[in-house]
Amino acid sequence: MSCLFLGVIRRQGGVGASVGVRSLTSIPSLPPAVADFVKGAVDECKPAKVHVVTGTPEETANILAGLERDGMVKRLPKYENCWLARTDPKDVARVESKTVIVTKNQRDTIPIPAGGVKSQLGSWMSESDWQKARQDRFPGCMTGRTMYVIPFSMGPVGSTLSKYGVQVTDSPYVVASMGIMTRMGTPVLQKLSEGAEFVRCQHSLGRPFPLKAPLVNSWPCNPEKVLISHLPDTRQILSFGSGYGGNSLLGKKCFALRIASRIAKDEGWLAEHMLILGITSPQGVKRYVAAAFPSACGKTNLAMMKPAIPGWKVECVGDDIAWMKFDSQGKLRAINPENGFFGVAPGTSDKTNPYAMATISKNTVFTNVGETSDGGVWWEGLDPPAAGVTLTDWHGKTWKPGSSTLCAHPNSRFCAPAAQCPIIDPQWESEEGVPIDAIIFGGRRPEGVPLVYESFNWQHGVFVGAAMRSEATAAAEHKGKVIMHDPFAMRPFFGYNFGDYLAHWLSMQSRKAPTKLPKIFHVNWFRKDPASGAFLWPGFGENARVLEWIFKRCGREREDEAAKKSYIGWLPEAGAIDTKGLGSKVDMGALFDVPKPFWQQETKELRAYFTQQVGADLPAQVEAELKALEDRVHS
């Protein structure tokens, strides 16, 4: 530690705490553990000044004004308090290839794959390689910039299911976004001053002053040196070189999934890549459901669904992440640890998701979408703008419909407060969480996988989650339409060895305390007609018909109620899915066809995947489920 310490200078007007770097003074306003963390970061990164974020509206307005002044965002006059950011085209998505977990032993992070095969279940970095990488990046990386200190809570402040973090960053865009995505500022500092534990998050754009090269789009980043690193043993995250959401808003995937999944394993709960919704029947009975889908499989659309069947109501608790813990009665209870929605914009419209459109009408930061000449936003999937209104694409260039390029980047985003959602669930900030009756897995499967089926039991359901596959998406840097294994929709987010993760899920059925396990289902909205290539199911609000069946199965009195047994699980019996009022002719036979040759090939691919990727770390119960499925599809 050098002799450069921090002194607090309170600004007039109470707009946050601006902190100058001085010698041999301390930080009276920060709890000792936080002060130590910040001092270490200052010593390493050498910022010009430090600002402790309080989260007040005045402070947020100042941050946004500064971003506007620097050309990083522009105001969108068509809406109330909405902003547009355009990034460097090299900084547009999560970078899985540069995202690592650092542990002493490789096997703590990933199963050791079969000879010569690259692990798809995470990237491990040794402690010595990581120290070198850190030395090569962080020293002096904030020279000339302000370091912002963000105390934040994942989950409602004070909930027993919540966890705290402190992020230091040199990106004011991150401060503005974290203010939407987390509970941030003084109330959290209060909890930390009471001695609450916190995850240490250090982030830098990696562009100290003076700049060695001009910025692209006024967006500081260092694409050649991006590294997003997680140290689960010490609950630390260090992210360098990217200003994009998933890489820089460290409360999101880095903390709420990668680090939290490891904390959850240690403490006996679950941190999952799942939406949470409440569904109420016409009779007024309400159930809560958690659902895991890979990116771009309609997670936000399902979480904010407008049911197409009369009398049913869906309310949204969260659209991306669920933290779930058993209560003293043995009921699995879930919170959404986030405070906002960080959703993919293209494809979101009044037709696909009217409630999302209402949510993002004010107080929203848009990134890499198109811009209209009347001060609004546009992206693929929206109706063409009104006559006389012209478009600018995400690069800032004039764009016309029919152009060979896209107006909005496929992974362009909106970042909006969850409380603005018109159907936000009344219990969304409940400190004890909402009771989960069903867990749904799903993915984009153009062929072979039925619209919905239920697992035979918890162990079989864990296998169904482990066997998830889906077409790849734009949220990561993968290209093209390739069917990828994405177990539990967590493939990019596991914080520890996937074999141990499966064992942790399986252990829920042998808890000593009382346990009421949710039922487990698998859905597929994306099956296609092999002849025409058209989707067989209309999706969106019509998905309520599938939720209705799931709802009824959760309250069933006998195992085969409204269901028939197939070799992959329980399928709805004929007529069990309400098709009354389905606008177009839907071929239910084709949607529920379970072709043996397809499933014989599927089991072959699953066996190869488990053998190569999980190997000796695959729990015996999952191996037994695969063997049983193989026997059933070959009988």
Matching residue, tokens 């990386």: 141
Residue pair 413/438 in contact (Cβ under 8 Å)? The answer is: no
244 flagged as catalytic: yes
Among candidate residues 141, 166, 185, 204, the one with its CA nearest the CA of residue 38: 166
Candidates 46, 94, 258, 299; catalytic one: 94
Catalytic one of 51, 98, 200, 273: 273
Q: Is 134 a catalytic residue?
A: no
484 with 470: CB under 8 angstroms?
yes
Is residue 45 annotated as a catalytic residue, yes or no?
no
Can you tell me the distance from the alpha carbon of 137 to that of 529, in angstroms, rounded to the nearest whole number? 51
DSSP letter at 438? E
Q: What is the CA radius of gyration of the chain?
A: 24
Are 519 and 459 a contacting pair, CB within 8 Å? no
DSSP-derived secondary structure for 208-230 = PSSPSSPPBTTB---GGG-EEEE
Choice among 201, 254, 297, 316 that is catalytic: 297
> Residue 85: what residue type?
A
Catalytic residue among 98, 203, 253, 258: 253
What is the Cα–Cα distance from 41 to 386, expressed in whole angstroms? 50
- Residue 27 is classified by DSSP as -
137 labelled catalytic: no
Q: What are the start-end ranges of the H helices in 508-595?
A: 544-554, 588-591
Edge-first strand listing for the sheet containing 365-367: 73-75, 83-85, 365-367, 413-417, 340-344
CA–CA dist 153, 191 (Å, integer): 9
In the annotation, is 297 catalytic?
Answer: yes
| Best CA proximity match to 185, nearest among 60, 12, 317 | 60
d(CA 513, CA 403): 60
Q: Report residue 278 as tokens.
A: 């409440």
Strand partners, 132: none
Question: Encoding tokens for residue 154?
Answer: 């994942």
Question: Which residues are paired to 325 by β-bridges?
Answer: 333
Active site residue 295: yes
Residue 430 appears among annotated catalytic residues? no
What DSSP letter does each residue of 331-400 carry, written as one string?
BEEEE---SEEEEE-TT-STTT-HHHHHHTTBS-EEES-EEETTS-EE-BTBPPPPTT--EE-TTS-EE-
Clarify whether 273 is annotated catalytic: yes
The catalytic residue among 173, 244, 288, 609 is: 244
CA nearest to 215, candidates 328, 370, 375, 91: 91
**What's the N-to-C CA distance of the chain in angstroms?**
68
Residues annotated catalytic, as ranges: 94, 244, 253, 273, 295, 297, 320, 413
